[in-house]
Amino acid sequence: MHRIWPVVGEMLFAEKFQKKRIQSLLFIVAGISVSAISFQSVGKATPDNSLIVVIIRHGERASSNHNLSCKGLNRALQLPAVLDKRFPKIDHAFVPALGRDKYTSHARMFQTVSPFAIKNKLLINSKFGSKDHDGMVKHILKKDGTVLLVWNHSEIQHIARDLGVKNPPQWSGKDFDSIWAITFKNGKAALDISKQGITPSPDCNY
């Protein structure tokens, strides 16, 4: 009679322990599910560790119209050598949609990237408007390899933030020479800022 109660007690303890174990497992699974749902709710893919996003500003512009100046064109012609030397093969290039809104009624970004795209036989994606950061970032984060963005300086800070960079600096209105390179490791973005090192001639020698 005395032996029955310890056995029953052991059974009850085992049953209680099993229930707690199942509850813990359910909690973990639920936590994973909630995390997945929350991540999906922002609509952004986890970037591949191989992804590099290179961002530059368009070249120097003419004061009287929306095109590059001779100085800006000379910068664009020297850019391929700089980018090809510094980064892995660039697989994708993006510029704002031309004429889609009042911010892109100019061709400076397209003119800047054209020599590089021509040399490297690269298609230029101009699907996204100047301020359509969200749509473009979602598109880019699904890619791997190296992506080049040529954009207007006022939007670059916002794009970097949307790509996951914490507290990116503002891009100076006088700066045409910087290169921003954003890399990813385990979903976290890191920003490296360097210079092209180009001093273009102000003259059009043609």
Tens of each residue's pLDDT in the chain, 206 residues: 444 444 444 444 445 445 555 444 443 333 433 333 333 334 567 888 999 999 999 999 988 778 999 999 999 999 999 999 999 999 999 999 987 556 555 789 999 999 999 999 999 999 999 899 899 999 999 999 999 999 999 999 999 999 999 999 999 999 999 999 999 999 899 999 999 999 999 999 88
DSSP 75-120: HHHHHHHHHHHHSSPEEEEE-PPTTSSGGGSS-HHHHHHHHHHHHT
Regarding beta strands 52-57 and 146-151, do their DSSP bridges make them parallel or antiparallel, or are they unpaired?
parallel
Answer yes or no: are the C-beta atoms of 144 and 115 closer than 8 Å.
no
* Claim to verify: residue 59 and residue 112 sit in the same structural domain: yes
Would 206 be classed as within a structural domain? no
Please report, for the domain that includes residue 167, its CATH number.
3.40.50.1240
* Claim to verify: residue 31 and residue 104 sit in the same structural domain: no
Reported as a single tens digit per residue, the pLDDT across 67-111 is: 999 999 999 999 999 999 999 999 999 999 987 556 555 789 999
Q: Domain range for residue 128?
A: 52-195
- Domains in the chain: how many in total? 2
* Claim to verify: residue 56 and residue 37 sit in the same structural domain: no
* Claim to verify: residue 65 and residue 147 sit in the same structural domain: yes
- Reduce the DSSP state of residue 182 to 3 states and report it: strand
* CB neighbours of residue 200 within 10 Å: 21
Distance CA 163, CA 161 (A): 5
Query: Residues in the chain, how many?
Result: 206
Answer yes or no: are the C-beta atoms of 92 and 149 closer than 8 Å.
no
